[in-house]
Amino acid sequence: MRCLCYYREKIENKISGSFLFNKPPKFDFYPEDTHCNNDLFPLYVFKTEPCKVITLQIGTFKARETVKVCKKCGRIYRSKQLCRLFAPSCNFGYDVLVYVGNAIFLHHLPDIVIVEQLSRKNIHISASVIAFLRGYRGRSPDFRIIQPSSFSFNP
């Protein structure tokens, strides 16, 4: 029975979107609005931003987002669809962040185990990024937390 479960899981992992493409596909994203919501003026292209995004569902892909602006009020419009996939200035999708958070805080897995699990899903993330998400931010994982009772407060 374990053998059957092992091969079923192996097949399911190979069918995921992250294994479908040799080279990361490219997708264009545009704001859904064509006119400003404040003053109904037409929107103009402000800039086009390319970025690399890594998600569990799709895998690695290149997104090119066209950001538009209202020339009258200066309001910026971004793609809502792309904003639902990942946070600005982040390479990993929300689904990867949730996976890592569950592995860290619910299952208490070490960083290297999380890296290996994601690697099997064709998601390549370093142990230092996992440590950053864990909250070490440059400190070694065995740092000592000072207990609040050890502080003395004299006003």
Closest CA to 42 of 61, 69, 14, 11: 69
Number of domains observed in the structure of the chain: 2
Residue 77 lies in a domain: yes
Task: Give the closest residue to 97 by CA, choosing from 128, 151, 134.
Answer: 134
Q: Is residue 125 included in any domain, yes or no?
A: yes
- Do 22 and 86 belong to one domain? yes
The DSSP element (H or E) to which 151 belongs, if any, is: none
Helix and strand numbers, DSSP H then E, in the chain = 5, 4
Instruction: Give per-residue pLDDT as tens, 71-124.
Output: 999 999 999 999 999 887 788 999 999 999 999 989 999 999 999 999 988 888
Residues 42 and 67 occupy one common structural domain = yes
Task: Judge if 85 and 107 occupy the same domain.
Answer: no
pLDDT in tens, 6-28: 666 666 555 555 555 668 889 99
Range of the domain at 135: 92-141
